[in-house]
Structure 1
Amino acid sequence: MLPRKILLAADDSDDRELFRLYAAARPVPGLVHVAENGAEVIELLSDGLTGTGLPDVIVLDQNMPRKNGIETLAELKRSPAFRAIPVFIYSTYASEALRVQCLQLGALSVFQKPDSPEAYQYIIDGILRLIS
């Protein structure tokens, strides 16, 4: 089975590196492209991820500069070109209100930011299972 392309948007470089590390180590690896904010996500997608095609899934941090996760999710779901791409939101504080709002906008799931290697592995495995 081919690796899955994941577009991760997170402003924290440690989060980006951990996500990339754990995704690459999965039995069906995830190839992670990264953006530092939601505006960069839209730019990368508009450029076709610089020639490699659209991602299989997008994972958005809620708290980012320029365009946060909810703003980016709303823009993606309004776009005929991008609305079918599954989107996950994660946040340090994944409140019920955030969950409801993101699910109503079309996110597949909302989860709390991982705080351990096991949590990263669990979340990445879940994401890869859902898009396989």
Structure 2
Amino acid sequence: MNDDKKIGYAHPPRSTRWQKGQSGNPKGRPKTKSEIMMDAARILTQTVDARAPDGRTIRLEAIEAAYLALCRKGLKGHKPSLLEAIRIMMDVGPAVQAKKEEQKNKRQEILERLERMGVPISEDSKLRK
């Protein structure tokens, strides 16, 4: 019995089999949510050029430029944009403050360790600020 005659379970007809080099899943596996988030993070951290109010061109991350545009639109009188900018500021503000406090505590801890090791650090040193 040759190969053409075997038709049935696990033996489809030759005319309907995948052609050489043809994938059974041409679109591929759909992206997972984490991959989509990584793509968004990569896009939002790219630098873009923005124009400052005095006409200079400044470089910002895309997310900063988007927030700046939202704030400017809100300040021009678009109430939903202003409310959204305030909401974002209220959500992000405490996190930023906590991060600054954490950095300050780490710096203080490093200074204390250096002093215990006998490294003199003057009171007006840049390290203390």
Category of TM-score, reference length = shorter chain? under 0.3
- Whose radius of gyration is greater, 1 or 2? 2
The structure in which a higher percent of residues are strand is 1
The structure in which a higher percent of residues are helix is 2
Greater relative contact order (Cα < 8 A, sep 6+): 1
Q: TM-score, normalised by structure 1?
A: 0.19
